Amino acid sequence: MRPLIAMSYGKELVYTRTFLGIMIVMLIVYFVKWVKRKDFAPGVKNLKADNWEGDRPFNIWLAISIIFLVLLFIMPDSDGHAGFISDRLCFLFYLFFTIWVISLKHSRRVMIIASSLVIFISLCTAHLYMKRVKNHSQIACDIEQLSGSIKENSIVLPLSIHKNWMYGHLSNYLGVDKAMIILENYESSTGYFPLNWNHKSIPNVTLGDISANVFPCINWVTNVENETKAIDYIFILKDFETEPEPCITQFLDSVKVYYRLIDNNQSGMIYGLKE
């Protein structure tokens, strides 16, 4: 059920498991009745069975969900944990699997009970999402505010201390109001998307005298064969819940030789290249 969890694995797991349980119970109830309808002897009139005429459990929705389930096990999984491919295929499997389950002819009682439970689950998860989105919205506004200290068309290296993957791309809000080169774009590095880095034109991007790949915890796109170009600004997204890794602490101590703090708020910091 991992693809159905949007934000918090621990808090949402109970809801996704309940949803899966509802689907399984609906299938069990349906097939029990379906088998009973098939058990009547030839020539015996079954009035209840007439109401189920035309019902086909093995329909196009089941076929589509099976196709996505098969693709889930044969397609590559990119980085092996977040999964650009597998999570999306699994989500599509659950989507068409759910459509198949609800397209079957269930009794009114089963539909009322299942619908009520699903609506309750949706309201609970929506409440959870609203709380998280409100917090994320404030962080995005803080980041946009920090962009006022960055000159247009500058090169910015983002660094997120957060371990939560959802915060990894918030640095893009720096470019809401002005053009800048932000050295973070996971789409262009995977090969799964039409957007790609132009490696031939990328300069040898450095942090003062610090080159890429010196620190294992931080990296950026560069081309050592081209002209050297210093990074103008470093954006750091704060995390008050966990202590930074020793590697990140060492990295910050090293860059302070070449960069100075020029802006700071509750969500992030901006370091600018010393003149």
Phi-psi region of 163 (alpha: psi -120 to 50; beta: other; left: phi over 0): alpha
Q: Please check whether residues 65 and 175 belong to one and the same domain.
A: no
Structural domain includes residue 213: yes
Structural domain includes residue 207: yes
Structural domain includes residue 115: no
Q: Please check whether residues 156 and 83 belong to one and the same domain.
A: no
Question: Chain-centre distance of CA 154, in angstroms?
Answer: 28
Q: Which helix (H) or strand (E) holds 20?
A: helix 9-38
Instruction: Give the pLDDT score at 8.
Output: 63
Q: What is the CB neighbour count within 10 angstroms for residue 256?
A: 13
The amino acid sitting at 255 is: V
Interatomic CA distance for residues 244 and 250, integer angstroms: 10
Domain of residue 8 covers 2-106
Q: Please check whether residues 102 and 150 belong to one and the same domain.
A: no
Task: Decide: residue 5, CB within 10 A, 0-12 exposed, 13-18 middle, 19+ buried.
Answer: middle
Instruction: Give the pLDDT score at 228.
Output: 87
Q: What is the CB neighbour count within 10 angstroms for residue 151?
A: 10
Q: What is the CB neighbour count within 10 angstroms for residue 165?
A: 11
Provide the pLDDT confidence category of residue 1 given band limits of 50, 70 and 90: low
Query: Could you give phi then psi for residue 221, rounded to 5 degrees?
Result: -75, 135
Structural domain includes residue 39: yes
Query: Could you give phi then psi for residue 262, rounded to 5 degrees?
Result: -115, -15
Interatomic CA distance for residues 263 and 269, integer angstroms: 6
pLDDT top residue among 190 and 203: 203
**Which of 106, 136, 164 lies at the terminal end of a domain, its last residue?**
106
Structural domain includes residue 140: no
Q: Please check whether residues 98 and 164 belong to one and the same domain.
A: no
Q: Please check whether residues 269 and 150 belong to one and the same domain.
A: yes
Structural domain includes residue 254: yes
Q: Please check whether residues 29 and 97 belong to one and the same domain.
A: yes
Interatomic CA distance for residues 119 and 15, integer angstroms: 11
Beta-sheet pairing, 233-237 with 204-206: unpaired
Instruction: Give the pLDDT score at 2.
Output: 64
Provide the pLDDT confidence category of residue 216 given band limits of 50, 70 and 90: confident
Q: Please check whether residues 162 and 250 belong to one and the same domain.
A: yes
Instruction: Give the mean model confidence (pLDDT) for residues 41-69.
Output: 67
Interatomic CA distance for residues 154 and 170, integer angstroms: 18
Q: Please check whether residues 177 and 72 belong to one and the same domain.
A: no
Instruction: Give the pLDDT score at 232.
Output: 92
Structural domain includes residue 111: no
Number of separate domains in the chain? 2
Q: Please check whether residues 101 and 214 belong to one and the same domain.
A: no
Q: Please check whether residues 265 and 172 belong to one and the same domain.
A: yes
pTM of the full predicted structure? 0.72
Structural domain includes residue 63: yes
Q: Please check whether residues 7 and 96 belong to one and the same domain.
A: yes
Calculate the average pLDDT of the chain: 81
